Amino acid sequence: MTSEGSTGKYPEYRKRLGPGWWLSNPRYTTYMIRELTSFFVSIYAIIYIYQLSLLAMGNFSSYDIFVRNPATIVFSIIALFFTLYHAFTWFYLIGRIQPIKLGRNKSTTPLQALAINLVLLLVISYAVVYLFILR
C-alpha cells in the first residue's frame, strides 16, 4: 500500500527508525520493558519444564540440587518480578480496552478494572487449585 520513490522528479527523503528508537521517549521505553518481560517468562518456562522432567523421571536428588542452586533462585526472583510487571501492565491495559460495566451509564476506570481483574484471577486460581489439588 505504499508508494515508494517519489511523486515528482526529485527523490523523497526517508528517515528509518534507528536501533535506539525506544529510548527516545519514556513511554516507548516502558513498552519495550513490557515486551522484554516475555524473554524472562519464556526462559522460566523452559527451566520449569526441565524441573518437571526431572521429577517425572524420579530424579529427586538432581531436582533438589537444581532448585537449591543460588543461580536458579536468583533467576526465579528476577523472572517473578518481570512476570508480575507483565501481568500488572496487561491487566491495566485490559481495563482500558474492556471497561467493566457498572450499571447503565457507568463503567470502571482502568485502575478499578485492574483491581477487579486481579481479584477474579485470585478467586479463579484458588478455585482451580481447590478442585484439582485440595479437594
Partner 1 sequence: MATRGQGVLEKMTKETDIETATLKVFRYRPEVQLEPYFQEYKVPYRRDMVILDALNYIKDHVDGTLSYRWSCRMGICGSCGANVDGEPKLTCASFLHEFKDKEIKVEPLANFPVIKDLVVNIEDFMEKLDAVKPWIIRKEETPPEKGEYRQTPEELEAYKQFSMCINCMLCYAACPIYGMNEEFLGPAATALAYRYIADTRDQDHEARFPIVHDKEGVWECTLVGECSVACPKGVDPMLAIQKTKILGATQLLKPPRRRK
Residues 6+ apart with CB under 8 A from 54: 60, 62, 63, 66
Q: From CA 131, how far away is CA 125, in angstroms rounded?
A: 10
Q: Is residue 103 within the footprint of partner 1 (CB under 8 A)? A: no
Q: Is residue 132 within the footprint of partner 1 (CB under 8 A)? A: no
We find the least distance from the C-beta atom of residue 118 to partner 1, in angstroms, to be: 19
Q: From CA 58, how far away is CA 61, in angstroms rounded?
A: 9
We find the least distance from the C-beta atom of residue 98 to partner 1, in angstroms, to be: 7
> What mask, x for binding partner 1 by CB under 8 A, covers residues 16 to 35?
xx---xx-xx-xx--x---x
Q: Give the chain's end-to-end CA distance (angstroms, integer).
A: 58
Q: From CA 112, how far away is CA 107, in angstroms rounded?
A: 9
Is the Cβ of residue 31 or residue 39 nearer to partner 1 in the bound state?
Answer: 31
Residues making contact with partner 1 (CB under 8 A): 1-3, 6-8, 10-17, 21-22, 24-25, 27-28, 31, 35, 93, 96-98
